[in-house]
Structure 1
Amino acid sequence: MKNYKMVLAYDGTRYNGWQKQGNTENTIQEKLERILQEISGAETEVFGSGRTDAGTHATGQVMNFRINWNGTAEQLLDAFNAKLPEDIAAVSIAEMPPRFHSRLSAKAKHYSYSIWIGKHSPVFERKYTFRCTETLDVQAMRQAAAAFIGTHDFKSFCANKRMKKSTVRTIYDIVFEETEDKLTLHFYGNGFLYQMVRILTGTLIEVGEGKKNAGEAERILLAKSREQAGFTAPSRGLFLREVFYEDWKGGSEA
């Protein structure tokens, strides 16, 4: 039985997230497992590098699965893509050592969040950006973001208030990419808590709007209270961009 690593891109708009759920079959994991069963004739579990929320997108989600397959990896990729709906694509595939696991072997992840700051409605990007109608002080947002870089307890930025495991994570970098109409925040870290990127983004937006002071970022971290952080930005602006399997050295190569 071979262990394969597959990189996926998907538009999460119409799905109830990545993770298979008992009350719906409309998840990306469920759809992928059904396709693999059709291809192999056997039930096959897929393991994702992260459980993206309902409405969240990906250009570099990674999954692995074990399957009896006599053809080449490229033939398996083609068979997979032939059965996928138009809002999911298998980008690449590689046979991996037996111990490889898409989530447990990951060293770092790159998420991005896009904020529409243009004067007109984002007609063609409305499913992939959060429209902010207030003028944002991007310099203040950069100042606040600097406080989040490093190893911290991010309990204030976790939507799961019953979280029993450690909420300590390391953010390697937060990069701001700005055009006339769009501000995109790129988050690089060794792991992210439930809705952490969306809450960090909401907090930075509130700083940009003047609702919070840039100097409050450190206080919010130390408070370890979800109530102290900003709103949870909508899922439609969030993308899982890359998953890294080597020790973090910066840059953007997966």
Structure 2
Amino acid sequence: MSEFRIAIIVGILQGFFEWLPISSEGNIALYLTAVEGLTPTAATDFALFLHAGTAVSATIYYRGELATLAGRLPQWRATRDTELTFLAVATVASAIVGLAAYATIEELFSALTGGAFIVLIGVLLVATGLFQRVANARLGTRTDPTLADALLVGVLQGIAILPGISRSGSTVSALLLRGYDPEASFRLSFLLSIPAALGAGVLTLTDGVPELSLAAGAVATGVAAVVGYLTIDGLLRIVSQIAFWAVCLGLGGLAVVGGLVTIL
């Protein structure tokens, strides 16, 4: 029953953490490495796999938005729809960068000890927090995305496959720094999250469901989907009210200290 216990725990964590700019992948990988004793590679794959569950949550939550976007597709070229172009270009860019990053981390993480992996996640969490802190000081009014915005956000979303770099934190912060208002930044970021999350989940299946039987994998994604759907509305409402950059700094600092203690 151990794998089902782990599946339920990480499914719940993913359902909560996905909507907060604190790197759900990084924090779940920390848990799996420090508490459950998984290797860095297995912990990362497991954390990425869970995104398939919350991708379902986001799809259901944004179903109205997605239906509207789908209805605009036939006129995309004629109307030069900048939002559809942004989403398409950013998704392609994130897929290319994400695949390259995944191939790199698979090789890199296989050579890391658990302690070194925890330190790395901590450092990336601190970097995520500092990036958000800088971006939060910028309040813009832009709402129409450009091709340059799409490429920038797509690259950052691809890099966010690294555990400790928050996908939403990075993409929202980039849009804020480009002068977008917070509402438009969050909307574009979470619409982008759906294909990215589905892609991350499918990517890990190329090597099989990490550390799980098929049944336990189904439980993990199912729990993540249900908890994610139940929490998304409330958590998205409080994101702008809490200094999550400070939370990232705190979690990252603790991870660095804990990892160094393990190494020493």
TM-score interval, normalised by the smaller of the two chains:
under 0.3
Of the two, which has the highest radius of gyration? 1
What TM-score does the superposition give when structure 2 sets the normalisation length?
0.22
Structure number with greater CO (CA < 8 Å, separation at least 6) is 2
What TM-score does the superposition give when structure 1 sets the normalisation length?
0.22
Q: Which has the higher strand share?
A: 1
